[in-house]
């Protein structure tokens, strides 16, 4: 999982603007508000591990969410009818639920931030990781479709520009259905191309059906020194279709 700092109101952004995380506009807006506003961001931050300019996200512990909103119920690796979710935030008295899947797609980067050394290993396998992200969308999509009070999304942080930059060759590839390039629209049935190798498809053979349409729009998450120091956030909100 990956730490994602999502502040749900201008007051929260002002509070953190001078702090270690720096300001980041809430990508969900009212969606996060449905399950606790800025509190959702504070809870998601506790799943952290992404180096940010000036330091790491604060890690107050999941229990501190109740200091901001006592009625919140927070579950990590929550079991649902569509499988386990990384993070489930609920306000039962309002019948509101926010389901989040989190992904951290890394390229090699080495550096020191606020006195802490990081040595990120290169994951590669962009086609496989792309499949996993689309599968996460489908899981949240299925959970929220025709389910009043349910919303959610998939959050992806990466410092690998191969995820958002479309290659210049323009050729069709076997993994096109799972690419997350800037401006790509994900919808319908997503499946591997006919020439995909068995190793690539291992445990990932099934086509994935999406009920909604999801546009990939990457935003700046953190800028650090050195090669691959540009970390970006992909936010894919999912609501009842």
Q: Is residue 192 part of a domain?
A: yes
* Range(s) of the domain holding residue 154: 10-239
Cβ partners under 8 Å of residue 166, min gap 6: 179, 181, 182
Within-domain flag for 1: no
Chain segment 201-235, per-residue pLDDT in tens: 999 999 999 999 999 999 999 899 889 999 999 99
Average pLDDT value over all residues in the chain = 76
pLDDT band at 18 (very low <50, low <70, confident <90, very high): very low
pLDDT of 42 above 60 = no
Position 3 in a domain: no
Residue 14 in any domain: the answer is yes
pLDDT-based confidence at residue 17 (cuts at 50, 70, 90): very low
Q: Is residue 109 part of a domain?
A: yes
Task: Pull the structure tokens for residue 93.
Answer: 């008295």
- Confidence (pLDDT) at 50: 55
Residue 36 has pLDDT above 50, yes or no: no
Q: Does the residue 2 lie in any domain?
A: no
CB 52 within 8 A of CB 113: yes
Domain presence at residue 4? no
Q: What is the pLDDT of residues 123-169, one digit of tens each?
A: 989 999 999 999 999 999 988 887 888 889 999 999 999 999 998 88
Pairing mode of beta strands 96-105, 150-158: parallel
Tell me the C-alpha distance between 16 and 25, whole Å: 11
* Count of the separate structural domains present in the chain: 1
Q: Structure pTM? A: 0.76
In this predicted model, what pLDDT tens digit does every residue of 161-172 receive, in sequence order?
A: 999 999 888 788
pLDDT at 41: 43
pLDDT digits (tens, 9 = 90+) for 65-100: 556 667 788 888 888 887 888 988 888 888 888 899
Q: Which of residues 105 and 67 earns the better pLDDT score?
A: 105
8 A C-beta contact, residue 171 and residue 178: no
Asked if residue 5 is part of any domain, the answer here is no
pLDDT over 90 (residue 122): yes
Q: Is the pLDDT of residue 196 over 90?
A: yes
What's the order of all strands across the beta sheet hosting 230-239? 73-80, 83-91, 96-105, 150-158, 230-239, 218-223
């Amino acid at each position: 999982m990956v730490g994602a700092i999502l502040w749900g109101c201008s007051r929260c952004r002002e509070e953190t603007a001078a702090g270690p995380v720096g300001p980041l506009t809430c990508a969900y807006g009212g969606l996060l508000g449905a399950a606790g506003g800025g509190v959702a961001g504070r809870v998601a931050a506790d799943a952290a591990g992404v180096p940010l300019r000036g330091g790491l996200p604060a890690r107050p512990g999941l229990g501190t969410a109740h200091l901001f909103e006592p009625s919140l119920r927070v579950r990590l690796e929550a079991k649902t009818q569509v499988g386990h979710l990384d993070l489930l935030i609920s306000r039962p008295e309002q019948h509101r639920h926010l389901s989040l899947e989190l992904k951290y797609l890394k390229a090699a980067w080495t550096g020191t931030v606020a006195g802490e050394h990081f040595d990120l290993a290169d994951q590669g396998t962009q086609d496989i990781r792309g499949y996993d992200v689309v599968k996460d969308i489908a899981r949240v999509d299925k959970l929220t479709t025709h389910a009043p009070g349910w919303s959610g999304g998939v959050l992806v942080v990466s410092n690998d520009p191969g995820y958002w930059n479309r290659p210049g060759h323009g050729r069709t590839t076997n993994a096109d259905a799972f690419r997350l390039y800037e401006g790509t629209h994900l919808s319908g049935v997503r499946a591997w191309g006919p020439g995909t190798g068995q190793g690539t498809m291992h445990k990932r053979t099934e086509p994935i059906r999406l009920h909604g349409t999801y546009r990939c729009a990457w935003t700046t998450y953190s800028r650090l020194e050195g090669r691959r120091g540009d970390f970006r956030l992909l936010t894919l909100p999912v609501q009842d279709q």
